[in-house]
Amino acid sequence: MITSVLVANRGEIACRVFRTCRELGIRTVAVYSDADENALHVRVADAAVRLPGAAPADTYLRGDLIVRAALAAGADAVHPGYGFLSENPGFARAVLDAGLVWIGPPPEAIEAMASKTRAKELLGITPLREVTEGDLPVLVKAAAGGGGRGMRVVRRLADLEEELTAARAEALAAFGDDEVFVEPYVEDGRHVEVQILADAHGTVWALGTRDCSLQRRHQKVVEEAPAPGLSPGLTHELHETAERAARAVGYTGAGTVEFLVAGDRAQFLEMNTRLQVEHPVTEAVFGIDLVALQIRVAEGHTLDDEPPRAHGHAVEARLYAEDPAQHWAPQTGTLHRLAVPDTVRLDTGYTDGDPIGVHYDPLIAKAVAHAPTRAEAIRKLSGALDRAAIHGPVTNRDLLVRSLRHEEFTSGHMDTGFYGRHLAELTEPAPDPYAPLAAALADAHGRSRFGGWRNLPSQPQTKRYTMAGEEHEVRYRHTRAGGLEADGVRVLHADARLVTLEADGVRRTYTVARHGDDVHVDGTTLRALPRFPDPAAQHAPGSLLAPMPGTVVRIADGLTEGTAVQAGQPLLWLEAMKMQHQITAPATGTLNALRVSRGQQVELGTLLAVVTATS
């Protein structure tokens, strides 16, 4: 019997595994980097061991330190979570060699499937060795990992070498292995996968299907089970292939076999020898706890001959600290408030007041809804996210709500090109026009220095806010009776937290929260502007500012001050949250200033370069 589990991971998945361990009466051990010293997964664990440093290569990718931590804390088993070392056969062997229980598949099975190139060969599929014009478009992928890291779509042969270089760098940073390979890219297919669970006694479960087609940067955003619209014949084929892959390598534990589906044809992509981020939708539909089953299998128990029956439909949305309208740029800062209605399941590694840093994935939480039908599950999830209070860095919450309500998704006709087609409309600003007034009235509550009744109404007060990139000026006044009024709107109630307005016969109540200069009015975020702008905050036209904190990992070859550049030309690359982000020239002209160097750490808003446009 396992009595104490160390989770070789962080954040949401560590908290998720700890939750099941507590329910089973198992003690928990966390590991943490210096950046995660006060993280939620550290606070909820029974014990925690520091991994000195902040970069993954120095901490969560150091298998030797993690094994040492497990022994020091008295753990008798290790759960790898997902990402980091979860698909590293050397780490699995080190855990077993230390006399610990490995809550995962045998190292030999991981090794057989860990390299996507070897996995394809095992199933008789050969990746591209040489790429020609006729092969385009192609997909560059990291051999040792997933999650979109080290993955690039190449549509021009001239771009292949540069994308290979970038993919290798991302793969090395994320997985400690820079091997990449190239395969044909199927435009606008569906990403469908099969959850498997196998014991050491020959039983393999194929637990339905999942559709994970809504992706950005090849990372999943919305997932659901079962995958809608698959024929019984195709579903049987997917299950059969998944079971064959598991049996071919003597698999045990939880894993996922992924496919690209176009029409009624399925192309094998890879096998992930670990728990997936989206596993909760399968848990909801089958009424199981996959982590508990992983632990039972690791203890040597047998599975039933047949898996439980599926019931209903489940949909999951990943809430990220990122700005979809700005090329999905990750965001950092303090998460002041995270409150999602309890009508849905919420898996998260954050609580109110926690910082979101630059070192790791920007995933904040996963929200999961289960209902008897697909339509009901979608409505339940979109409604919960719409009502959620999320205060802090910019998130993709509005994008998720709009995606879930988009006709292409609700009809079940989506594919991996969904955001390529619809991102502009899904990120079109649609703020509440009365949000600035609600913010101003909440701020004005109690500010009247005369208080109560007055002989004459006060002069109009003015406040300015930015909302969805535009500046808004609000005018209101204190009445003789000590209340507040605004032109064209009845102010029924106003205090520092709640404002009730009536406009055109419709009454609405707004919840207002202020954190520094940021004001959150229900789901709308505003920035309060000072009465007099700070001249020091102004920048010359053509200034390129860091869209996020990060590290300058690359500067374009030959780029110096005075170099002529073209609009859209990549100038430098920032690495943040395990991804690389291109900074491009805003116009055709001349690079008049380059203010950073390779390896330099920059903060949000740091001046990187200045491009003077050709007149």
Convert the pLDDT of each residue in 229-284 to its tens digit: 999 999 999 999 999 999 999 999 999 999 999 988 898 988 999 999 999 999 99
What's the rounded mean pLDDT across residues 150-162? 88
- Lowest pLDDT segment from 86-100, 207-221, 312-326, 455-469: 455-469
What's the rounded mean pLDDT across residues 429-452? 80
Residue 456: predicted pLDDT: 53
pLDDT band at 297 (very low <50, low <70, confident <90, very high): very high
Look at the domain 4-103 and name its fold: Rossmann fold (3.40.50)
> Considering the chain, what is the average pLDDT of its residues?
91
Check whether 147 has a pLDDT greater than 70.
no
Q: Name 303's Cβ contacts closer than 8 Å, sequence gap at least 6.
A: 197, 198, 199, 201, 203, 205, 293, 297
CA distance 436 to 442: 10
Residue 207: predicted pLDDT: 98
Sign of CA dihedral 70, 72, 74, 76: positive
CA distance 530 to 514: 15
Whose structure tokens read 């099969």?
Answer: 194
What's the rounded mean pLDDT across residues 434-448? 85
For residue 531, the number of C-alpha atoms closer than 13 Å in the C-beta half-sphere is 2
Look at the domain 536-613 and name its fold: OB fold (Dihydrolipoamide Acetyltransferase, E2P) (2.40.50)
What's the rounded mean pLDDT across residues 370-387? 98
- Lowest pLDDT segment from 153-157, 454-458, 553-557: 454-458
| Domain spans, the chain | 4-103, 435-528, 536-613
Check whether 454 has a pLDDT greater than 60.
no
CA distance 443 to 495: 8
Helices then strands, each counted (H, E), the chain: 15, 38
Percent of residues, the chain, with pLDDT higher than 90:
72
What's the rounded mean pLDDT across residues 428-432? 91
What's the rounded mean pLDDT across residues 404-423? 96
What's the rounded mean pLDDT across residues 412-441? 95
* Closest-CA residue to 190 (of 108, 260, 118): 260
Residue 603: predicted pLDDT: 84
pLDDT band at 119 (very low <50, low <70, confident <90, very high): confident
Look at the domain 435-528 and name its fold: Glycoprotein, Type 4 Pilin (3.30.700)
What's the rounded mean pLDDT across residues 474-502? 88
What's the rounded mean pLDDT across residues 174-195? 85
Residue 450: predicted pLDDT: 42
Sign of CA dihedral 594, 595, 598, 603: negative
Encoded tokens for 482: 């000590």
Residue 391: predicted pLDDT: 97
Of the spans 380-394, 576-590, 592-606, which averages the highest pLDDT? 380-394
CA distance 211 to 225: 6
What's the rounded mean pLDDT across residues 196-214? 98
Check whether 405 has a pLDDT greater than 60.
yes
How are beta strands 265-272 and 253-262 bridged, if at all? antiparallel
Phi-psi region of 101 (alpha: psi -120 to 50; beta: other; left: phi over 0): beta
Check whether 145 has a pLDDT greater than 70.
no
What's the rounded mean pLDDT across residues 358-379? 96
Q: How many angstroms from the chain centroid is the CA of residue 314?
A: 19
Query: CB count, 10 Å around CB of 450?
Result: 10
What's the rounded mean pLDDT across residues 432-441? 94
How are beta strands 564-565 and 543-545 bridged, if at all? unpaired
User: Which of the following is catalytic: 16, 190, 210, 274?
Assistant: 274
Residue 412: predicted pLDDT: 97
CA distance 457 to 447: 15
Whose structure tokens read 């192609």?
Answer: 138
pTM of the model: 0.86
What's the rounded mean pLDDT across residues 196-201? 98
> Where would I find the H helices in 344-494?
374-387, 397-404, 407-410, 418-426, 435-444
pLDDT band at 578 (very low <50, low <70, confident <90, very high): low
Q: Name 500's Cβ contacts closer than 8 Å, sequence gap at least 6.
A: 491, 492, 493, 494, 507, 508, 509, 510
What's the rounded mean pLDDT across residues 197-216? 97
What's the rounded mean pLDDT across residues 109-133? 80
Q: From start to end of 190-248, where are the E strands?
A: 190-198, 204-216, 219-225
CA distance 152 to 139: 6
CA distance 115 to 218: 18
More confident residue, 116 or 352: 352
pLDDT band at 100 (very low <50, low <70, confident <90, very high): very high
DSSP H or E run through 73: helix 63-73
What's the rounded mean pLDDT across residues 451-475? 78
Residue 449: predicted pLDDT: 47
Residue 109: predicted pLDDT: 95
* Angstrom distances, CA of residue 182 to CA of 117, 134, 150, 252, 435: 9, 14, 11, 29, 49
- Lowest pLDDT segment from 96-105, 374-383, 559-568: 559-568
Cβ atoms of 166 and 152 closer than 8 Å: yes
Residue 345 bears catalytic tag: no
Over residues 496-545, the pLDDT tens digits come to 999 999 999 999 999 999 999 999 999 899 999 987 665 555 677 889 99
